[in-house]
Amino acid sequence: MGKRIVLADPRGFCAGVDRAIQTVETILRTSTGGGHRSGLPPVYVRRQIVHNRHVVGDLAAQGAVFVEELDEIPDEAVKAGVPVVFSAHGVSPSVQHEAKRRGMHVVDATCPLVSKVHREVLRYVKDGYDIVYIGHRGHDEAVGVVGESPDHVHLIEHVSDVEGLDFPENGKLIYLSQTTLSIDETRDVIEALKQRFPWIIEPPSSDICYATQNRQTAVKSVAEQSDCVVVVGSANSSNSVRLMEVAEQALAGRGHAYRVDDASELNDAWFTGVESVGITSGASVPEELVIGVVDALKSLCYEDVSYVTTTRENMHFVLPAELRKR
Ligand code: SF4
């Protein structure tokens, strides 16, 4: 067999990312121009709407203004009713309260599957539980979830963190997790939790979302047929970084997995002696970036392109209610 490309399917946009981007695009498209007339932007977005710099750059070029915190939004814009979109990763109640206090027009693009974890936290805290939350410290999603009840939600990242936890024997205890973790790594953390706290209960359903699970399953199959895997996705995209780790593990020492934002970051040296290159992309990555990587590899004589399809996705989330009629 000659040099070839194996594309993972599913890859790229998930339903939550699609909804978040469409939320901002719908506001941009239907903006009445009140903001424009006064020199204000048509929309503010708190944090990156999804963790992909190309998506953010594209929306910024269309007029969206990205801020890290709400205090960067001037009172004049709040008074003019310029909408403020919360990103797909969700926010903590303190952010919601601040927006309410300032009378902001909020459009919440939090992925419904992240909102589900927020609701679980509230429900279990109300029922007297302590919650061990498996997630990445500092990630927007984790900050939002822990913020629901900082005294009762205990964030851990790794198996080694389990040792540092202490809960009363047979007390009410449950674990929840970030939506974009590695299934295999999380399994090890859960096992360690069950060993240390045998009375800990499981969430009613896995918090690792369908898109994360499907992309990890697909990249594993791809890696098993490849000598090297390229994951398209940004460095701050949790699910993209997890895909790289899963691929590296599935390659089992036969080669390496690399993450690139786009084709310009490919390094020819990675492909020396490589016959088969697997490709996938994170849930926040537009397909044109994958096409760019495929084209770049074709110029290195990887001309045969095949697919590994592990499942068909048909998940779709409707836009936030106030945008549906636009
Ligand atoms: Fe929602 Fe999962 Fe997509 Fe995150 S990766 S936005 S949780 S569907």
Per-residue pLDDT of the chain (326 residues; tens, 9 = 90+): 689 999 999 999 999 999 999 999 999 999 865 455 578 999 999 999 999 999 999 999 999 999 999 999 999 999 999 999 999 999 999 999 999 999 999 999 999 999 999 999 999 999 999 999 999 999 999 999 999 999 999 999 999 999 999 999 999 999 999 999 999 989 999 999 999 999 999 999 999 999 999 999 999 999 999 999 999 999 999 999 999 999 999 999 999 999 999 999 999 999 999 999 999 999 999 999 999 999 999 999 999 999 999 999 999 999 999 898 76
* 126 alpha carbon – ligand 1 mean position (Å): 26
User: Hey, is 79 helix, strand or coil?
Assistant: helix
Pocket mutation for ligand 1, best pick of 21, 176, 209 (most atoms within 8 Å of C-beta): 209
- CA distance linking residue 277 with residue 230, whole number of Å: 7
The verdict on the CB of residue 48 being under 6 Å from ligand 1 is no
Distance of CA 326 to the CA centre of its chain: 27
* Residue of 76, 120, 141, 185 with catalytic role: 141
Determine if residue 70 is left, alpha or beta; phi over 0 gives left, psi from -120 to 50 gives alpha, anything else beta: alpha
CB 88 within 8 A of CB 110: yes
* 245 alpha carbon – ligand 1 mean position (Å): 18
Which amino acid type is present at position 30?
Answer: T
Pocket mutation for ligand 1, best pick of 52, 182, 212 (most atoms within 8 Å of C-beta): 212
CA nearest 277: which of 267, 286, 289?
Answer: 267
Contacts of 53 (CB under 8 A, 6+ apart): 234, 261
* 318 alpha carbon – ligand 1 mean position (Å): 14
The verdict on the CB of residue 117 being under 6 Å from ligand 1 is no
- CA distance linking residue 224 with residue 98, whole number of Å: 49
* 294 alpha carbon – ligand 1 mean position (Å): 25
The verdict on the CB of residue 64 being under 6 Å from ligand 1 is no
Considering only CA atoms, which residue is closest to atom 8 of ligand 1? Answer: 16
141 in active site:
yes
Residue recorded with tokens 């709400």: 70
What is the token pair recorded at 174? 């449950």
CB 27 within 8 A of CB 83: yes
* Ligand 1 atom with the shortest distance to the CA of 14: 3
CB 148 within 8 A of CB 120: no
pTM over 0.85: yes
CB 136 within 8 A of CB 99: no
Q: At what angle do helices 53-61 and 15-30 cross, to 10 degrees?
A: 10
User: Hey, is 205 helix, strand or coil?
Assistant: coil
Distance of CA 84 to the CA centre of its chain: 20
Contacts of 94 (CB under 8 A, 6+ apart): 147
Q: At what angle do helices 112-126 and 15-30 cross, to 10 degrees?
A: 110
Length of the chain: 326
CA-to-CA dists, residue 182 to 21, 60, 143, 225, 244, angstroms: 24, 31, 19, 20, 10
The verdict on the CB of residue 239 being under 6 Å from ligand 1 is yes
* 287 alpha carbon – ligand 1 mean position (Å): 17
Pocket mutation for ligand 1, best pick of 49, 87, 114, 120 (most atoms within 8 Å of C-beta): 114
According to the model, what pLDDT value does residue 188 have? 96
* 106 alpha carbon – ligand 1 mean position (Å): 20
Considering only CA atoms, which residue is closest to atom 1 of ligand 1? Answer: 16
According to the model, what pLDDT value does residue 36 have? 55
* Ligand 1 atom with the shortest distance to the CA of 16: 6
> Please, how many CA atoms are within 13 Å of residue 32, restricted to the half-sphere of its CB?
6
According to the model, what pLDDT value does residue 324 have? 84
* Ligand 1 atom with the shortest distance to the CA of 50: 6
